[in-house]
Amino acid sequence: MNHSEIGQIRLNIASREWVIYAPSRRKRPQDFHAISSSENSKKVKKNHCPFCDLNETIILEMPSVDDRPWQTRVIQNKFPALVSKGKPQRTKEGIYLTMPGYGQHEVVIETPDHEQNLALMPIAEIEVLIETYHQRYLALMEDSSNLLTIIFRNYGEKAGASLTHPHSQIIATSIVPQHRRWTEEEAQRYFDRWGQCVYCDILSHEQENGQRIIGENETFVAFVPYAASLPFEIWIMPKEHQADFGSITPQEKTDFAHLLKDVLMRLYDKLNNPDYNYVINTSARYKAEEPQVHWYCQILPRLTITAGFELATGININPSLPELDADFLNS
């Protein structure tokens, strides 16, 4: 098997953490070299944008309801972290464990408009984006080899974005990372002790306390978590217990879209359009119906830099109290 083509996934046997080796991503374009704010620079970038002048096979397209050619498109990532070649079988290399870099890596092109900002999109377009996420999530989880499907968005250079055209990504993996297993196991321990979902209890307390709430509608709540790891971290969580993003209802998709737009608009207005990541944290396969796991969207503005102490200990230093962050976003 040629690992230079499909990559590898190797296990750090000291930490039980998997590492993905993706040689194809060494060729990935970097869109942020010598950024200029001039209109000419924007025009050049648009003329060379691979999402504006698409030559890739389209996996899913949401047709337009107006004069635009389409609403969202989903394609294979040209520089994938994982590829759907080979089989996800573990093999030994001396004392180590490895496997092919099996999985799927897709790009969701969120709009045909190269200059659009997700925070400023009409709500109808964000609703279509959430519908696109949901359809691809369900399709990818039909493959029994995929144990976890993660939907995420990198916005801005500090968040790891390499292209400016609005887009998200979806990666399906044949492994469940140690970080995810750890959070699932902690939730399991909490449930075994108290008979309650820890996330439902967090949500109930935040609603009762109210100090860190950013927004709320019929089915979702947005809040700065009590132990936020970064300044202005925000969770958007369904009120009803759901382990799996695939279980979201049509009404919940609409409500999620509305609250996501509201939160992103607050960050845009209050923090001057910061770089950020968001990720939909959902259950691994076989955990979808369990009572201790609860999916949610985690938004992480990139306002600080992770340095030596954080890397050495895994402990984040947050210079801003969550209560003050919530108060600022609500002002």
Residues taking part in catalysis: 167
* Residues 302, 260 contacting (CB under 8 angstroms): no
Residue in 180, 258, 176 with CA at minimum distance from that of residue 215: 258
The DSSP element (H or E) to which 3 belongs, if any, is helix 3-6
273 torsion bin: left (phi>0), alpha (psi -120 to 50), beta (else) = left
Helix (H) and strand (E) counts in the chain: 8, 14
Strand partners, 149: 172
Measure the CA–CA gap between 91 and 97, rounded to whole angstroms: 6
Measure the CA–CA gap between 275 and 270, rounded to whole angstroms: 13
* Residues 103, 84 contacting (CB under 8 angstroms): yes
* Residues 226, 209 contacting (CB under 8 angstroms): no
* Residues 86, 102 contacting (CB under 8 angstroms): yes
Measure the CA–CA gap between 300 and 159, rounded to whole angstroms: 9
Measure the CA–CA gap between 213 and 222, rounded to whole angstroms: 6
Amino acid at position 121, single letter: M
